[in-house]
Amino acid sequence: MTTTPRQVVVTGLGAITPLGGDVATTWEGLLSGRSGVRRITEDWIEQLPVHIAAPLAVEPPLGRVEARTLDRSQQMALVAAREAWADAGSPEVDQERLAACVASGIGGVITLLTQHDVLREKGPRRVSPHLVPMLMPNGPASTVGLAFGAKAGVHAPVSACASGSEAIALALDIIRAGRADVVIAGGTEAAIAALPIAGFAQMQALSRRNDTPETASRPFDKARDGFVLGEGAAILVLEAAEHAAARGARVHGVLAGAGISSDAYHVAAPDPSGAGAARAVRAALRSASLEATDIIHINAHATSTPAGDLAEAVALRDALGDHLDEVVVTSTKSMTGHLLGAAGALEAVASILALRGRVVPATRNLDALDDEIALDVAVVDNRTIGTGAALSNSFGFGGHDVCLAFTS
């Protein structure tokens, strides 16, 4: 017997990003086309070939104890989760029916690097006793789980730049399976430091437009030359529809489905055929009981790398066929930079708000669309959309492919 999957709704949104310290300011920044990319002024940047990034617009508003005992990625996750929880109306839920799925692609790398300096310069007795909880990749999930008393499970998917989306997909599965009624889900990342930037630069993955930072992230543009490293966090409160209805909760949208696949092609390069990404899109449609013709908007992964943007366009054509010509595409990374493990969660927030407000933020810096990319990308002006479904794509090193499907 086939049973209808439990419907999962979004009742809370939270974010701290290069555009603002909350969801409202971030969304206003996206709609106004504001760039969060700037030149980094710390002394260590001068030794590197890349001098730009997209740091937080405001520092996490935390007390001294929290700031001292939490890695920056954990601080941001906690701030975004608190906003999302309040936005959801601080739901009363049995703690054994509450879970947390909060991802990070890298974990507490800033803590690791900082404490290594302490070890080298001052000796082992000066290393922080909080080091291990601060650097572990499940630290943000643990931080959020502890803050809200989540006893139905605390999970931390690690799938590079697809991590945040995979956390949301996992939350969907958990609620559908009946293991929880409410899940706090999303992603966080804080990796703006010399070593990560040097590593990405050595891979030729980062834009080197040091003189014009605001123009550096240019998804789908002919002159794109790499992504811009960003930091931030975004969190969704996901809830079984019947649980939300019973408490009279406001609903932002519906997480209708999710699809996950892998390329099995290369540890860092995308499969140029887009086959794995296309499978994830088709899986999301099946999971959501949607047809290609139901899609009106796509928040693309589109990081501004030459190979990645093209492979995604190929994948979307494969999955959606001629209907792709009717779909409004955007890349909010043109304004936020690439938040790695937080990117998918932030773009999920943007997708939900686009459906709710029936407006798609224009992609910044798209001066000349790549001749090989046949997409209808919102550019210059924000685009009005009707009612329908949206997809949010996230792809990561290791060949991870995740697609989320939302309806209003």
Give the residue numbers marked as catalytic. 161
Place of tokens 């909080």: 130
List the one residue out of 372, 261, 258, 367 whose CA is nearest residue 314.
Answer: 372
Determine phi and psi for 124, rounding to 5 degrees: -65, -25
Three-state DSSP class for residue 215: helix
d(CA 277, CA 133): 34
CA separation (Å) from 213 to 141, 209, 232, 248, 298? 32, 6, 18, 45, 26
Q: Output b/e per residue, 244-254; b: 16+ Cβ within 10 A.
A: beeeebeebbb
List the one residue out of 347, 270, 356, 365 whose CA is nearest residue 313.
Answer: 270
d(CA 173, CA 194): 37
**Diameter of the chain by CA atoms?**
65
Determine phi and psi for 273, rounding to 5 degrees: -75, -15
Retrieve residue 189's tokens: 């990342």
CA torsion 384-187-234-90 (nearest 10°) is 120
| Strands 376-377 and 328-330, bridge-based pairing | parallel
CA separation (Å) from 259 to 170, 285, 293? 10, 8, 17
Determine phi and psi for 379, rounding to 5 degrees: -145, 145
CA torsion 175-9-338-279 (nearest 10°) is 70
Three-state DSSP class for residue 102: strand
List the one residue out of 43, 75, 32 whose CA is nearest residue 56.
Answer: 75
CA 348, 352, 357, 358 torsion-angle sign: positive
